[in-house]
């Protein structure tokens, strides 16, 4: 019998590719997004092993309902992919407080909502894998990405500790830290920018916006390759704690490690 997956943010990007890859591998998938129609349209040519439900991850009650419905339909949840999220980009002082809080509401607290809803079923069976889609920006921050990185740093810290709490109960964890993937993550459907004009930052912000616009659609990472890697890892008994994916991600993470070694060694 194949594995049974629950994937959030499956209407586009990496979430869509993971859902497709899992079905192609012979598994059964409950694919979710804020709009069930959007998921169905994104995964047209569906399969009897592909199911869809609407889920806004910021709604804790909805997360519990979707988890229960998924178990009722599929029998269990073997793999949870916490993928839904977006990027609040721009220099910190140009981003309104409400936007910062919304970033955390989705990327951190929404992801926690889904985990809270699903993990009790995994604990009961003493089995399961939680795949949390983070980012290399959860390891390394940069000018223009402070708020997004903050939300992903928080996800990293939470899952690093939570995974150790779950391990004795048979529930495994994989943090995925991609570099830049060729998805729509950097266009207006997933990325937002600060709305406060501050002259001191104007030139730097303009350069950063130009970088994002130029990178959108030209990112080096292949989301289909990453999706296939995640599906392959889900079938293994021993899963690494982290998957740093992409040359750019490995380069950034490696440079951070080198810097930390120097700083830790300094007297």
Instruction: Give the catalytic positions in this structure.
Output: 134, 148, 152
Angle at 33 between CA 58 and CA 122, to 5 degrees: 70
DSSP string, 70-107: HHHHHS--SEEEE----EEES-GGGS-HHHHHHHHIII
Please report which helix (H) or strand (E) contains residue 4, including its range. Answer: strand 4-7
- Judged by DSSP in three states, 128 sits in strand
- Judged by DSSP in three states, 32 sits in strand
Q: What residues does 11 pair with on adjacent strands?
A: none
DSSP string, 150-183: HHHHHHHHHHHHHHHHHGGGTEEEEEEEE--BSS
In sequence order, what are the residues at sequence separation of 6 or more whose Cβ sits closer than 8 angstroms to the Cβ of residue 231?
Answer: 18, 21, 22, 25, 27
């Amino acid at each position: 019998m194949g594995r049974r997956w629950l994937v959030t943010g499956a209407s586009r990007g990496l979430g869509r590719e993971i859902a497709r890859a899992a079905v192609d591998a012979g598994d059964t998938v409950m694919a979710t997004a804020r709009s069930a129609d959007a998921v169905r349209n994104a995964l047209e040519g569906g399969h009897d092993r592909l199911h869809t439900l609407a889920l806004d991850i910021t709604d804790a009650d909805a997360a519990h309902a979707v988890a229960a419905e998924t178990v009722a339909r599929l029998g269990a949840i073997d793999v949870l992919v916490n993928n839904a999220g977006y990027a609040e980009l721009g220099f910190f002082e140009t981003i309104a407080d409400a936007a910062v809080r919304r970033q955390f509401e989705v990327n951190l607290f929404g992801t926690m909502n889904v985990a809270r809803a699903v993990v009790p079923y995994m604990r009961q069976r003493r089995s399961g894998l939680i795949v949390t889609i983070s980012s290399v920006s959860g390891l390394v921050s940069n000018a223009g990405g402070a708020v997004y990185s903050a939300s992903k740093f928080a996800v990293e810290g939470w899952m690093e500790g939570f995974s150790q709490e779950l391990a004795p109960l048979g529930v495994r964890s994989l943090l995925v830290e991609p570099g830049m993937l060729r998805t729509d993550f950097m266009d207006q459907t997933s990325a937002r920018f600060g709305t406060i004009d501050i002259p001191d930052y104007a030139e730097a912000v303009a350069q950063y916006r130009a970088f994002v616009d130029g990178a959108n659609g030209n990112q080096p990472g292949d989301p289909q390759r990453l999706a296939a890697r995640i599906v392959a890892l889900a079938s293994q008994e021993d899963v690494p704690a982290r998957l740093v994916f992409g040359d750019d991600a490995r380069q950034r993470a490696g440079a951070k490690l080198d810097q930390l070694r120097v700083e830790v060694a300094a007297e």
